[in-house]
Amino acid sequence: MNGEIKRRIDNLRDLLVGKIPVPTEQVKQITLALIYKFMSDIDEQNKEWGGKSFFRDEYEQYAWKRIMDHSISAFERVKLYSQGLEKMSLNAGIPQLFRDIFKGAFLPFRDAATVDQFLKGINEFEYEHSEDLGDAYEYLLSVMGAQGDAGQFRTPRHIIDFIVEAVAPLKTDRILDPACGTAGFLISAYKHILRENTEAGSEHAGSALTINERKQLTKNFMGYDISQDLVRMSLVNMYLHQFPDPQIYEYDTLTSLERWNDVFDCILTNPPFMSPKGGIQPHKRFGIRSKRSEVLFVDYIL
């Protein structure tokens, strides 16, 4: 991994820890700020090519360049950024992916000095579709630790990679993780398929894939999660790993029926192995009667 990017991420976490002691919330705020910056970088490129700006009419004041303008005070910067976060999901001028990412977003503190330093740290990042940045984001996700209240725990990277290698998904497979968390299984499966389709001696992963095969490949992955925050992180993780339109959905696999009839060639997952507080009220399509999440997930997968 790019050591400089890792250092910047660690510095951002150090800045936030006094205001946001919980690692998951630190990751959430860094995620939102990075995507805000990247979205603005893409917007600048788009305008250079003659496209319409993402930040039009009332949203013009929330463009990153405006927020980082040296002529405004730290207090005004906090005000513009926090308002931008809260309103961006309603901005019809940005792609749906970004509206989904900013759904329910807000800034949980208003300390001007801290936010000012934090945004200046974010400003050091430049958007690019690079593997380095995707790997750096996975490093950021790795600090989250356990999510025990709903039986959600991060699966260690080496376990994910081992399972993916054992299952060996193919380039033509439609692949699902019905409890995707931060999309670790999906990203690992994608990397595995690229490695298995790389020409001997080539430095470019997936070099043996045709343009159409590579385009289709990014459409073959799907993930569900019950947590809006984890869906947001999965969307970002997939986007930074070259998925232009990631198929990650906020969806309760055990109680909802909307996606019951979806069909996949390969399912890779580490679902919650306990029932959340308040229990589960599963729908009636399961072949077995249970309220234990691990039993229901296995039945669903089968």
Contact (CB, 8 A) for 226 and 251: yes
Q: What are phi and psi of 194, to 5 degrees?
A: -60, -45
pLDDT tens for 42-57 read 888 888 888 889 999 9
d(CA 290, CA 152): 19
Q: What is the mean pLDDT of each run of 10 residues along the chain (302 residues)?
A: 78 92 88 90 86 92 95 95 96 91 92 94 77 69 56 74 97 96 92 95 92 95 90 86 91 91 95 70 88 88 91
- Is 142 contained in some domain? no
- Is 233 contained in some domain? yes
pLDDT at 211: 93
- Is 275 contained in some domain? yes
d(CA 274, CA 250): 20
3-class DSSP string for 199-253: CCCCCCCCCCCCHHHHHHHCCCEEEEECCHHHHHHHHHHHHHCCCCCCEEEECCC
Q: Work out how many domains the chain is built from and give that number.
A: 2
Dihedral of CA atoms 142, 144, 150, 155 in degrees, nearest 10, equals 20
Range of the domain at 286: 148-301
Residues 172 and 116 in one domain: no
pLDDT at 182: 85
pLDDT at 206: 93
pLDDT at 199: 95
- Is 159 contained in some domain? yes
pLDDT tens for 236-257 read 888 888 898 999 999 998 999 9
